[in-house]
Amino acid sequence: MKQFYIALTISFFLWIVSSESAFAQKFKSSSSSVHFFSDAPVEDIEATNLDSQSAMDISSGDVVFSIPIKSFTFEKSLMQEHFNENYLESDKYPTATFIGKISGYDLNVTDAQEATGLGKIKIHGVEQEITVNGKVLFTGESLEINAKFPIKLVDFDIKIPKVVFYNIAEIIEVTILFNYEKID
């Protein structure tokens, strides 16, 4: 796990340094929450991850997210075990990522405003193009991004055994909230 965070830090550093814009405004996440909810006939399943990382260049809209799968916590430990071992195979696929661009916001507006994220999300080793609508709040020194969007398990080759088919929804609702601080 430590090697993952070292690699992530190096990747973020290289991404930040490689920007060519003299007016680039770089931000890194200072806190995060990635939450998912499965509304199924037999039982609801939800988990939260507070260990995700992100970096964004607010002037270009370039953004990256890295979500460590094993950091999702569940109310029931057995659910967490099944999630990591049977469904997301977190030893084999330890992170989910998003690399893309957020657009539709105005840097001169300091209220929350609608924005759209477009890029590639990778979950369970499968990469898909995704468009997500959310909100951006930019105050000059801080940044907040939040969004709610669906993820279809079949799109990421996440298989649900027939025996628990009614326990897990085919479409999971994901909610993200990232707070950022400016990088000088």
Q: In this structure, how many other beta carbons lie within 10 angstroms of the beta carbon of residue 154?
A: 10
The C-alpha atoms of residue 150 and residue 163 are separated, in whole angstroms, by 24
Where are the chain's structural domains?
A: 30-182
Q: Are 100 and 63 in contact, with CB atoms under 8 Å apart?
A: yes
pLDDT on residue 163: 59
Rounded CA separation 84/61 (Å): 32
pLDDT of residue 10: 46
Q: Give the residues of the chain that fall short of pLDDT 50.
A: 1-2, 5-6, 9-10, 13, 16-17, 20-22
- pLDDT for 2: 44
How large is the greatest C-alpha to C-alpha distance in the chain, in angstroms?
A: 56
Global pTM reads: 0.85
Domain 30-182 belongs to what architecture? Answer: Beta Barrel (2.40)
